[in-house]
């Protein structure tokens, strides 16, 4: 398996634009997580899904953030409209039992 695949790896966008981050979890995994990493706040869990159903979205910072998992092999995290303070590295991770496998991340820069 190629592991958790995220796209794009880098995204630079202007304030106010919509940004969509994509994630393909490891085949067979039933849990998917979206994390945000910044110097100030470290690794924060934004939302996680179990069997494609959102279980805990308490970490989603604002209504500007939304996440979907239409099927077991694909998830998106959308920010609309984006703001400079959204600049961070966004990680997707998936798991079947205990171990969470992380993707390479998407570095988002909002200017």
Partner 1 sequence: GENVEQHPSTLSVQEGDSAVIKCTYSDSASNYFPWYKQELGKGPQLIIDIRSNVGEKKDQRIAVTLNKTAKHFSLHITETQPEDSAVYFCAARGFGNEKLTFGTGTRLTIIP
List contacts with partner 1 (CB under 8 A). Answer: 4, 31, 33, 42-43, 45, 48, 50, 55-56, 91, 93, 95, 98-105
Q: Residue 110 CB, nearest distance to partner 1 (Å)?
A: 20
Closest to partner 1 by CB, 7 vs 81, is: 7
Q: Residue 75 CB, nearest distance to partner 1 (Å)?
A: 15
What secondary structure letter does DSSP report for 28?
T
Closest to partner 1 by CB, 40 vs 70, is: 40
Q: How far apart are CA 77 and CA 72, in angstroms?
A: 15
Closest to partner 1 by CB, 7 vs 50, is: 50
The radius of gyration of the chain's CA atoms, rounded to the nearest angstrom, is: 13
Q: Which residue has the tokens 């069997």?
A: 51
Q: How far apart are CA 66 and CA 57, in angstroms?
A: 9
């Amino acid at each position: 398996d190629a592991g958790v695949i995220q796209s794009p790896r880098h995204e630079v966008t202007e304030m106010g634009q919509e940004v969509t981050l994509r994630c393909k979890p490891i085949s067979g995994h039933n849990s998917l997580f979206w994390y945000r990493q910044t110097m100030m706040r470290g690794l924060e869990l934004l939302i996680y899904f179990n069997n494609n159903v959102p279980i805990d979205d308490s970490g989603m910072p604002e209504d500007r953030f939304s996440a979907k998992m239409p099927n077991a092999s694909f998830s998106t995290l959308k920010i609309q409209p984006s703001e400079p303070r959204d600049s961070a590295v966004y990680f997707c991770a998936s798991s079947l039992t205990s171990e969470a496998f992380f993707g390479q991340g998407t570095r988002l820069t909002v200017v």
